[in-house]
Structure 1
């Protein structure tokens, strides 16, 4: 009978899968090393077990101990599975930019999850690097894994992932492309493949907000390059010991937006339900198209599974909020539908007091209000205008609106093109009213126009 002794026996020997439609513009064969077939659904299972076994062998990890690690989620999952099988406790320290699904999955396999802020320096006591180290110092019989500087990480890929790719391609692989985070995958696979054939090119995928690309090209660690980014699993604001820059031929950077969009495209075009770093990897691959020739065999590694990003890259509302989905807006109605259709137009009467208008602005968090009387819209007020008049007269709040209002906002039909609407908004006119088919009105503000553009 053929079976594994436990779940750890199913790690590795993941398939290569040919990419088709998304890489039609490339002249070469592109194969995906599909790491979601590991039991923890990511490439990190490989190095998690290797790091634990090496720590057991040299006494750093003792029976009944607690494993502590700062993780973006996937390494934590691999460590958690091994901890279950081997009888250890697991504490995962994770940054708050990681998906809720990742945190829930770690808890589901028995790990304690400690969440830390993303937007802090690595040396900050609240960072997930510092918190991991502190917890390891405070917890009896514990071991801090430190996947960034633990060279068992690289060794795992040198011993398993690299040889698998060489064997599966019958030594025909010419390029290896992968997102770089801790650096273990690219360094281990790269070292093995270059030992077999020094002409194989090793390309890293980096993200904006990370230091890898510039450091590789210039040797300069530029702190000005470091800023928060959304893409998960790749890029760093430190230089992990596992990143062997001598093995890497080059980097290309991929934006958060492109990484997210191509994560969706992999699912919808190739049927590959993968994580955020896979989207970055495939977009980076396409950016490198001039590097490839007709007979090349390019292997791109896909790290993890899409189930960990259902609330993020696979959620259109999440994508839309960040401007990653570009709805085609052409008319006034499109803007109303996107921003205001479920809202009631807030107005003020000519005989109401200025204080009433101010109260409504504060309550509804708006900057301008149309003024109406029994005949219709007869004027408008906005916060800048009221502020200017208040400076001139401190008793303005007790005046009727009709004494401080300015000319009414222009009114357009709902099919008016956005370009025409935008021409009506200028320094002296902050909004436009739109008359809908049902006879009601809505408002388009300067902010709405900027958002649409």
Structure 2
């Protein structure tokens, strides 16, 4: 037997028992592995459903352009379907999303426009606003609007819910889902509750999102909104696809817990999944006191880990955010082993001759250059030599005329590996701001001293 095209392989994803990561959580914990969809995420289901509904209603016409604001996974599903059905795609996304997601969309021939994260949805620069403007400007275009297009939740009512019901033989007692557009939890939850009204539907939210407070109080609190790192869940508005009547409760999970749990799922269960799966398991563990040994819990694992290689699966990225504390040397521990000395700097307006004298008297080869107290560049012996060989008269010129880019700045949590990779022929050192706000310099010698010490 074969399939006529790749879209026919969407759905019928496996349900896998978790054995290690949920130790101590009562009940049987099952993960719905949506990474086996051809686009490696659950969003394939609703992407095709939205397109098919739009074709039926006449909103999407032959040869049209699909324009959508997407964090990557919906875009992947839309792009895949567009190839099979003969449409073009333009996607807007935020600068919070991983580079891997953007690269994957471009690999499918889509045009991707990256917009700033930290702006209001109504701001003309937001990825919502840009996609809406493009829909108005591009002829024969259609915007699926996954947030408010109810074909999103309907896809899960028709597919994901029935699959889970059959796979658990109707024994499911709890559904746990990270909530972004709300389509997965609302559609799946609605189907399951129609089968058994006693099934509990738990939504996983993140700090910086409005869902939990709105569910509990009915208040949309703008003060709750702030930037967060977790991808794929939480929102700063209320999508039409979030059916608060279907969702029994929301649980918030921190960025750190979600990121570390994502890695743990790979390391302890051998399942390579994305950030929202880590948040979902983190939330489930926080709610474990609400479970009984006979419960059967299904957790949705939305997407694949390959889209987060530069983030949750990158140790330096985790360390820079203070998420990973381990025995590896960091900028902080290198500074602790180093004798504290006042960093030598030169003002950009000082002359090249003064720089030469400072380098000679201090017996150093490179000096950070400042302007109004801020480090704006560096000057090195090699820069001075090259400049004077070309034009000996430059001795009296300002340093700013021959300075080069500043030393790289690193965070206190940056690992020794990352610092070493930044020190090369162009940069003999890196700069770091210590806990008191003072700028310190780390050289190759400091690294060697910290290792041998």
Q: Deviations over 1:281-340 (max 9, x none)?
A: 1101101101110100000001000000001110101111011101358xxx87665458
CA distance in 1, matches of 2:141, 2:336: 54
Cα distance change of structure 1 residues 21 and 57 upon mapping to structure 2, 3 Å threshold: same
Matched, 1:94 2:93: yes
Separation of aligned partners in 2, 1:340 and 1:81: 52
Q: Find the counterpart in structure 2 of residue 287 from structure 1.
A: 286
Give yes or no for contact 2:201–2:249 (8 Å, CA) kept in 1: yes
Q: Alpha-carbon deviation of 1:344?
A: 11
Give 1:306's aligned residue.
305
Q: Which residue of 1 aligns with 2:211?
A: 212
Q: 1:432: how far off?
A: 12
The 1:426/1:322 distance shift into structure 2, 3 A limit, reads: closer
Contact kept in structure 2, 1:180 and 1:205, CA below 8 Å? yes
Q: Any residues of structure 2 matched to 1:166-177 within 5 Å, and which? A: 166-177=165-176
| Partner of residue 59, structure 1 | 58
Listed one character per residue, the Cα deviations across residues 158-212 of structure 1 (whole Å, up to 9, x for unaligned) are: 0000000000000000000000000000000010000000000000000000000
Contact kept, 8 Å, 1:15 with 1:34, in 2: the verdict is yes
1:77 aligns with 2:76: yes
Contact residue 345 and residue 441 of structure 1 kept, 8 A: no
With over 3 angstroms needed to count, the CA separation of the structure-2 counterparts of 1:347 and 1:260, relative to structure 1, is closer
Equivalent residues in 2 for 1:302-381 (5 A)?
302-328=301-327, 337-338=333-334, 362=369
- The whole-number CA distance in structure 2 between the counterparts of 1:363 and 1:143 is 52
**In the TM superposition, what is the alpha-carbon distance from 1:3 to its structure 2 partner?**
1.1
Cα separation, partners in 2 of 1:336 and 1:166, compared to 1, 3 Å: closer
- SS of equivalent residue, structure 2 residue 21: helix
Select the structure of larger CA radius of gyration: 1
**Quick one: distance in 2 between partners of 1:327 and 1:338?**
14
1:250-261 alignment runs, 5 A limit: 250-261=249-260
Distance verdict in 2 for CA 1:142–1:196, change over 3 Å: same
* Partner in structure 1 of residue 129 of structure 2: 130
- In 2, the alpha carbon distance for the partners of 1:263 and 1:105 equals 20
The verdict on how the C-alpha distance between 1:360 and 1:16 changes in structure 2, with shifts beyond 3 A counting, is same
Q: State how far apart, in whole Å, the 2-side matches of 1:334 and 1:116 are.
A: 32
- Per-residue deviation at 1:271? 0.6
Distance 1:63 1:315 in 2: 42
Q: Determine helix, strand or coil for the equivalent of 1:33.
A: strand
- Distance in 2 of aligned mates of 1:257 and 1:342: 30
- Rate the CA distance shift 1:317–1:59 in 2: closer, same or farther, 3 A: same
Report the CA distance between 1:114 and its aligned residue. Answer: 0.7
Instruction: Give deviations 1:330-362, integer Å, cap 9, x for gaps.
Output: xxx8766545889997766xxx99xx99x9565
The 1:56/1:346 distance shift into structure 2, 3 A limit, reads same
Which residue number in structure 1 is paired with residue 22 of structure 2?
23
Aligned to 2:111: 112
- Distance change in 2, residues 1:178/1:342 (3 Å): farther
Residues 65 and 341 of structure 1: is their aligned pair in 2 closer, same or farther, counting only changes over 3 Å? Answer: farther
Alpha-carbon distance in structure 2 between the residues aligned to 1:10 and 1:264 = 28
Over 3 Å counting, the alpha-carbon distance change for 1:336 and 1:47 in structure 2 is closer
- Give, in whole Å, the separation in 2 of the partners of 1:212 and 1:159: 25
Query: Aligned equivalents of 1:9 and 1:194: distance in 2?
Result: 27
- Contact 1:11–1:45, Cα closer than 8 Å, also in 2: yes
2 CA distance for matches of 1:97 and 1:315?
16
Deviations 1:52-88 (A, max 9, x none): 0000001000000000000010000000000000000
- Please give the secondary structure, in 1, of the residue aligned with 2:91: strand
Please list every run of 5 or more consecutive structure 1 residues that lacks an aligned counterpart in the other structure.
Answer: 368-424, 443-453
SS in 1 for 2:118: coil
Give the TM-score taking structure 1 as reference length. 0.76
Match of 1:178 in 2: 177
Q: Paired residue for 1:158? A: 157
**Residue-by-residue CA offset, 1:384-427 (whole Å, 9 max, x unaligned):** xxxxxxxxxxxxxxxxxxxxxxxxxxxxxxxxxxxxxxxxx999
